[in-house]
């Protein structure tokens, strides 16, 4: 089991430490084989890491042309008359990745992949779901629900969504040998990507998610969309089971809002109520699990430190005196990569 928590001073320090680990791991793997498969997330948490990695690649420390990436999620239902317009919408995750990472690279990745939510016409999806209630069912204990489509659904459109948007993305990841390292963030209730709290772990590798009404309202309130009618109602997302099949998962968390779900995910038994708790299952199966969190996000971890360490999870505080140590000298950096795709 390899499960460690690194506590850093603030967002900038978190980004530096996490980027150092990712850079070292990419370089080590590329010294042994031709390519590296990198899993990526959107949101504020990884933006600092992306700037560090782009600087390293542009400085010749990483060969971007030998890296292939797969993102966690993408909206369904963005404004736009066609898939290209939706993919280029400023709130699309495809656009976010170009703005925050891909566009910073002088030498581009060999391939970038974002789930193909922009190919799905939300109006047609809603019509097909209403017209064919026997072709699908919902899963989830909370307001955000996974829409599980029968792979043999009589509806040709729903069957296409299942086979060519959901299952095909997972197949493509596996065709490249699985993800070597996956960067993830954490939602305020402990969700990863759009694997919302309460959606079961089992069998949910790629998800079509009907978004919580509060999520839609918050998107408008936060200025992402002018009105509710413009805000997507669905999303395509990796589920926790697929995310945590990566050989190594690096979770980033910054700010007090993340403190409770981060601590719960480490101190208590894994539960779909806190999807990032799947990291404990991942570590027990032989994968590497690394939390890199700032001091604010670590407040709950420090309060429950004894409970967490009883589970065999190592906590190292770099936010004070030990912060002067070079991150390359940390024991975790010297552990060999482990874990394989299932």
Question: For residues 117 and 302, what is the distance between their CA atoms, to the nearest angstrom?
Answer: 39
The pTM (predicted TM-score) of the whole model is: 0.93
Give the domain ranges of the chain. 2-334
Q: In sequence order, which residues have a C-beta less than 8 Å from that of residue 234 and are 6 or more positions away? A: 75, 76, 77, 117, 120, 122, 125, 147, 208, 209, 210, 211
CATH T-level fold of 2-334 = Rossmann fold (3.40.50)
C-beta separation of 289 from 283 below 8 A: yes
Q: Which of 182, 168, 161 is nearest to 234 (CA)?
A: 161
Show pLDDT as tens, one digit a residue, over the chain (342 residues): 699 999 999 999 999 999 999 999 999 999 999 999 999 999 999 999 999 999 999 999 999 999 999 999 999 999 999 999 999 999 999 999 999 999 999 999 999 999 999 999 999 999 999 999 999 999 999 888 999 999 999 999 999 999 999 999 999 999 999 999 999 999 888 999 999 999 999 989 999 999 988 778 878 887 888 888 889 999 999 999 999 999 999 999 999 999 999 999 999 999 999 999 999 999 999 999 999 999 999 999 999 999 999 999 999 999 985 444 545 555 555 444 433 333
């Amino acid at each position: 089991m390899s499960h460690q928590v690194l506590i850093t001073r603030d967002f900038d320090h978190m980004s530096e430490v996490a980027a150092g680990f990712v850079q070292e791991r990419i370089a080590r793997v590329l010294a042994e084989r031709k390519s590296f498969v990198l899993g990526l997330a959107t949101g504020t948490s990884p933006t600092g890491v992306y700037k560090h990695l782009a600087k390293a690649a542009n400085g010749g420390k990483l060969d971007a042309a030998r890296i292939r990436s797969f993102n966690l999620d993408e909206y369904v239902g963005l404004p736009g008359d066609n898939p290209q317009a939706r993919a280029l919408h400023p709130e699309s995750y495809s656009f976010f990745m170009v703005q925050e990472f891909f566009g910073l690279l002088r030498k581009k990745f060999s391939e970038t992949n974002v789930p193909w939510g922009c190919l799905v016409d939300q109006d047609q999806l809603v019509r097909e779901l209403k017209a064919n209630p026997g072709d699908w069912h919902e899963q989830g204990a909370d307001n955000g629900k996974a829409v599980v489509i029968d792979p043999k659904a009589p509806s040709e459109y729903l069957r296409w969504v299942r086979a060519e948007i959901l299952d095909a993305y997972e197949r493509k990841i596996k065709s490249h040998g699985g993800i070597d390292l996956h960067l993830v963030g954490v939602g305020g209730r402990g969700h990863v990507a759009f694997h919302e709290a309460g959606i079961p772990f089992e069998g949910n590798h790629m998800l079509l998610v009907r978004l919580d009404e509060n999520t839609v309202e918050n998107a408008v309130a936060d200025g992402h969309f002018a009105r509710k009618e413009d805000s997507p109602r669905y999303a395509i997302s990796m589920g926790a089971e697929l995310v945590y099949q990566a050989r190594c998962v690096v979770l980033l968390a910054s700010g007090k809002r993340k403190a409770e779900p981060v601590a719960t995910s480490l101190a208590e038994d894994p539960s779909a109520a806190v999807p990032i708790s799947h990291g404990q299952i991942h570590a027990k199966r032989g994968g590497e699990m690394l939390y890199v969190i700032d001091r604010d996000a670590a407040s709950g971890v420090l309060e429950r430190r004894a409970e967490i360490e009883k589970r065999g999870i190592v906590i190292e505080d770099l936010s004070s005196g030990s912060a002067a140590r070079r991150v390359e000298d940390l024991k975790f950096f010297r552990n060999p990569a482990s874990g394989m795709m299932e």
